[in-house]
Amino acid sequence: ALVGVPSTWSDAELGLQWQGERSQLGAALTHNTAVGRLSGWRIEGGTQLPGQVRAQLEAEHHAVADESGPLQIAGARDRLALRLSRDFGRMWANVSTAVMSYDTRRGNPLGHGASTQFELGFWFRRSEPDLSVKLLGYSNRFSANAGPPLPAYAPLVPSGAAPNAAFFIPAGDDVYGLGFGFNMAHSDTYTRRWMPYAEVDVLQSRRLGLTNNLNLGLHGPVFGPDQLSLSYQRQQNTSGLNRQWSLQYRLWFGR
């Protein structure tokens, strides 16, 4: 459990995106205020490969890390990720791999990680509202640095003792399961009307046994080329049970 956690904090992002016939590029500046301020950037690009395979590459620096509760509020993540995907009519498949390094927001090195994920899904309906089911799995491996205790983060520990890097870095895990989605194809895109979305994953974890993740939200325009979204996420992993409410406002240019 964590103590001394802020009841609310803010995220801000300013980004640009270019979309071509076969490729896309994007970049964003990010800022977060939880336990310490975190300013970073993200660069991403995608292109169509032979065989109708789409490749996406993403690099991020000083991003919010959601691998554990302590990392999410007091850590920073550098990550390089590659994703390959392909549609087969009503079906889709994708596989991704990523390498990560972690620090505290004060710059203390915490450790490293690597992740491999896959999805194999089927669309019952692709137009609004879309309905889907998917088989998913992932394997995460993490390594915590053997550094000295970090007294600046003692207020997060119930006992008040200074934590070491292992307090932030989660244990690795292997997980597989089924996911069910409603309007998830439109959950992170601009829409001209208000739209609910939901996703439920029922998972079997090597460390935790049977678990589930939940993602619920509602988003839509307020003044025109913008979007206001309210979401609730519930996720259980090797660091514990994480629940998060978020309110987000986005403004698009060129719509």
| Residues 41-89 pLDDT 10s | 999 999 999 999 999 999 999 999 989 889 999 999 999 999 999 999 8
Query: How do the domains of the chain map onto residue ranges?
Result: 24-251
Indicate if the pLDDT at residue 254 is higher than 70: no
pLDDT at 3 > cutoff 90:
no
What is the share, in percent, of the chain residues with pLDDT greater than 90? 70
Structure confidence at residue 95 (pLDDT): 98
Q: What angle do CA 21, 93, 112 make, to 5 degrees?
A: 95
pLDDT of 176 > 70? The answer is yes
Categorize the per-residue pLDDT at 5 as very low, low, confident or very high, splitting at 50, 70 and 90.
confident
Q: What is the pTM of this model?
A: 0.85
Sign (positive or negative) of CA dihedral 32, 35, 40, 46: negative
In 3D, which of 8, 109, 38, 113 has the Cα closest to residue 68? Answer: 113
pLDDT at 236 over 90: no
Residue 204 has pLDDT above 70, yes or no: yes
pLDDT exceeds cutoff 80 at 186: no
CB atoms within 10 A of CB 21: 6
Cβ neighbors of 76 (< 8 A, separation 6 or more) are 38, 40, 62, 63, 64, 65, 102, 103, 104, 105
Count the residues in the chain: 255
Average pLDDT, rounded, for the chain: 92
Helices (H), the chain: 69-74
**pLDDT category of residue 241 using cuts at 50, 70 and 90:** confident
CATH topology of domain 24-251: Lipocalin (2.40.128)
| pLDDT tens-digit series, residues 27-45 | 999 999 999 999 999 999 9
Contact yes or no for 204/222 (Cβ under 8 A) = no
pLDDT, tens digit, for every residue of 128-173? 888 999 999 999 999 999 989 999 999 999 999 999 999 999 999 9
Between residues 160 and 116, which one has the greater pLDDT?
Answer: 116
In the chain, the amino acid numbered 149 is P
